[in-house]
Amino acid sequence: MSCQSIKKVAVIGGTHGNELTGVYLIKKFQKFPQLIERANFTTLTLLANPKAVEVGRRYIDTDLNRCFQPEDLQNPHLINYEQIRAKQIAQHLHQEKVDFIIDLHSSTAHMGVTIILNNDNSFLLHLAAYLSTVNPLVKILQYSQKQKPSYLRSLCELGLAIEVGPVPQGVLNGYLFLQTELVLCQILDYIQNNNQGIKQPIDNSFLIYKQVETIDYPRNEQGELKAMVAPQLKDYEPLYPNSPMFLGFDGQEISYQGNSICYPVFLAEAAYLEKQIAMCLTIQQQVTLSDNFGE
Cis check: omega of the bond before 166, within 30 degrees of 0: yes
Name the 3-class secondary structure at 253: strand
Round to whole Å and give the CA distance between 138 and 131: 7
In order of 110, 185, 248, 258, the CA distances from 227 in angstroms are 20, 41, 4, 18
Specify whether the backbone of 184 is left (phi greater than 0), alpha (psi in -120 to 50) or beta: alpha
Beta partners for 138? 113
Full DSSP string of 158-189: SEEEEEEE---TT---HHHHHHHHHHHHHHHH
Per-residue model confidence (pLDDT) at position 290: 75
Alpha helices in 135-274 (DSSP H): 174-195
Spatial contact of 161 and 105, defined as CB atoms under 8 Å apart: yes
Four-CA torsion 18, 19, 21, 23, nearest 10 degrees: -60
Could you tell me where the DSSP H helices lie in 32-173?
50-55, 70-73, 81-95, 122-134
Is there a common fold for 8-206 and 212-288? no
Q: Work out the angle between the directed axes of helices 122-134 and 174-195 (0-180°, nearest 10).
A: 130
* Residue spans of alpha helices (H) in the chain: 20-31, 50-55, 70-73, 81-95, 122-134, 174-195
CATH of domain 8-206: 3.40.630.10
Query: What is the per-residue pLDDT for 147?
Result: 73
Sign of torsion over alpha carbons 265, 189, 130, 153: positive
Q: Give the domain ranges of the chain.
A: 8-206, 212-288
Sign of the Cα torsion 193, 197, 199, 202 reads: positive
Distance CA 114, CA 293 (A): 23
Mean pLDDT by 10 residues, the chain (295 residues): 79 98 98 97 98 98 97 97 98 98 98 95 96 97 83 96 98 98 98 94 93 96 96 98 97 96 98 97 94 39
**Which residues have CB under 8 Å from 130's CB, separation 6+?**
186, 190, 200, 201, 202
Report the C-alpha gap between 18 and 5 in whole angstroms.
34
pLDDT computed for residue 294 by the predictor? 34
8-state DSSP, 218? P
The per-residue b/e assignment along 249-263, b for 16 or more CB within 10 angstroms, e otherwise, is: eeeeeeebebeeebb
Residue of 285, 277, 5, 292 whose CA lies nearest to 117? 285
Q: What is the pTM of this model?
A: 0.95
Q: CATH: 2.40.50.140, 2.20.25.160, 3.30.2130.30, 3.90.25.10. Which one for 212-288?
A: 2.20.25.160
pLDDT at 3: 52
Which secondary structure element, helix H or strand E, spans residue 213, and what is its range?
strand 205-215
